[in-house]
Amino acid sequence: MSSCRKINPIETTLKNQTFAKNEREESEAFFFISTSNICKGIVSKSKIAQQKSSDESIQQLSKRIEAHENQLLDEISKIATTKLIVITEINATHRRDLYNLIDANGNEFNNEYLNSVKESLSDQTELLESISTETNDKTILQLVLHFLPEQYKVLRETERLQKQNI
């Protein structure tokens, strides 16, 4: 009887190795979930901008941003799936931004959109930069190398339009 209750050290070790996550895996999962949520928020904001903005340059920028974010979201989803990471919407902080955009009109809308997208793009850029230093995963590093330059470009263009609208 007492031998049945003894803990099998081999079984315990295997369980711990199977279910243990290391810090790199946790930071990668955080990256995928956070970046995905920001992408979804930016896409929503850009769709609203395409409908509400009367400024042609903002409409064009929002179309480019939407296409870029959808492409990034697709790549993130593919990589996350291969790593068995389930992407869920953990926080809905971007919803307040969406409500502000929906309520805004005219120039107020353009300023609200540009501010909101600039902030989201900055957050996303920080995530891309930080994961590049926290991981040595070749696929993630290729993703960063592919999308980060375009991210900077879109961010600069957003800032330029923001200065023109002030």
The CATH number that applies at residue 104 is 1.20.1260.10
Q: Is 65 contained in some domain?
A: yes
**Secondary structure letter of residue 1 according to DSSP:** -
How sure is the predictor about 93, in pLDDT bands with cuts at 50, 70 and 90? Answer: low
Most confident stretch, 8-12, 25-29, 126-130: 126-130
Mean pLDDT of 134-149: 94
Q: Is residue 9 part of a domain?
A: no
Residue 63's CB is within 10 A of a number of other CB atoms, namely: 14
As a whole number of angstroms, the distance between CA 117 and CA 65 comes to 9
Domain with 107 in it: 23-165
- In this prediction, residue 18 carries a pLDDT of 45
* Percentage of the residues of the chain whose pLDDT score is greater than 70: 83
Give the separation between CA 51 and CA 32, rounded to whole angstroms: 29
Within 8 A by CB and 6+ apart from 80, the residues are: 32, 36, 86, 87
Q: How many domains does the chain contain in total?
A: 1
Strands (E), the chain: none
